[in-house]
Amino acid sequence: MIDERQLISVLQNGLPLISHPYAAIADEINSTEDEVINYIQLMQEKGDIKRFGLVVRHRKLGYKANAMVVWDIAEDNVDVLGQCFGQFDFVTLSYRRPRNLPDWPYNLFCMIHGQDKEDVKRNLNLMIKSCEVQGVKHELLFSTRCFKQRGAIYIHNETSDKVAV
Amino acid sequence: MALENIYDHGILHNTELTQRLLNEYQHNFPVTRTPYADIAKRLGVDEQTILDLLKELDKKNILSRVGPVFRPNRVGVSTLAAMAVPEHKLEKIADIISSYPAVNHNYEREHHFNLWFVVTAENKELLDKTLQDMQLETDIRIMSLPMEKDYHIDLGFPLKLLQGGRSHD
């Protein structure tokens, strides 16, 4: 039997770049290569794994500008617009999140990318036009500095505990 | 879209191979006993070439990792957190936040709320405790905006190499 928690804990660090990466993972969690392979396939079928493959850092690839665009959308329209915004290939995320009034009136969040700020603004205008949200309150938050970017660590072990500052 | 940075780094010996590798394997990476050999076969090279190229991309920080992107909130929980940090404290506070293993993305953004980060945990109790610890340690209030519904999540995106490494338009 495979321990899902252990498997995720190892997988979240990425596969080793060696001939038999799944066998190496199996060794770490006292399992077998076939068990690991079957379990990953099962998680893919169940939809627990959304995609499996190379995770690249967009900033290093010429997508130098990225911004979060946040919208204040009437409840009835959130689903339709969330989907509409999500269909552009420069949009990597489209999520509904809670408002936090009075500081934060926005409930729909998209991450959009471009080669530079102008490109991002052009992309935003395309979204506004295509999804017909002229006049809807929104803000564009460009990211200026990236302090940290890596895969999510959901499960912590002794070695991943907080590092002293 | 351009991969011109790769040219800047001077690592692209085989631009076509790099482009195919990056474009075709952000999804559907083989979950087989010898995934890199299987990719190599598909792309018409040998396994070592693929392993070397991935190591190179990793070393240059272009490759974050090879592996799964889990569906939000299916494995553990997470939230998007924001802080309004006085400008002169920003770097120090950002370093404190980044030092938590529970934080994976941490960005400065142009806004009154100028520090944005994603916090993950195994369950809600641990997540809340981490947020509380952060507020105590930084003495700055955190606005937590957990995802309620996902309409679209990072499906990787198409990358094109510029011929000759530079765009002239």
User: CA–CA separation, B88 vs A79, rounded Å?
Assistant: 39
Residue B168: inside a domain = no
> Which residues span the domain enclosing B99?
77-145
CATH number at residue B128: 3.30.70.3460
Class of the domain covering A4-54: mainly alpha
User: CA–CA separation, A130 vs A66, rounded Å?
Assistant: 20
Contact status, residue B152 vs residue A93, Cβ threshold 8 Å: yes
**Are B60 and B90 part of one and the same domain?**
no
Residue B76's pLDDT band (cuts 50, 70, 90)? confident
CATH number at residue B32: 1.10.10
**Are B8 and B56 part of one and the same domain?**
yes
**Residue in B with minimal Cα distance to A106:** B145
**Are B87 and B38 part of one and the same domain?**
no
- Res A161: pLDDT: 39
- Res A30: pLDDT: 95
Taking an 8 Å cut-off on Cβ atoms, the answer to whether A22 and B31 are in contact is yes
The residue ranges of chain A whose pLDDT is under 50 are: 158-165
Interface of A with B in 125-164 (CB under 8 A): 139, 141-156, 160-164
**Are B37 and B85 part of one and the same domain?**
no
CATH, domain A58-142, list 1.10.3720.10, 3.30.70.920, 3.10.20.340, 3.40.50.740: 3.30.70.920
Q: CA of B31, closest CA in chain A: separation in Å?
A: 6
Residue B159: inside a domain = no
Chain B interface includes A101 (CB < 8 A): no
Tell me if residue B147 falls in helix, strand or coil.
coil
Whether ipTM > 0.95 holds is no
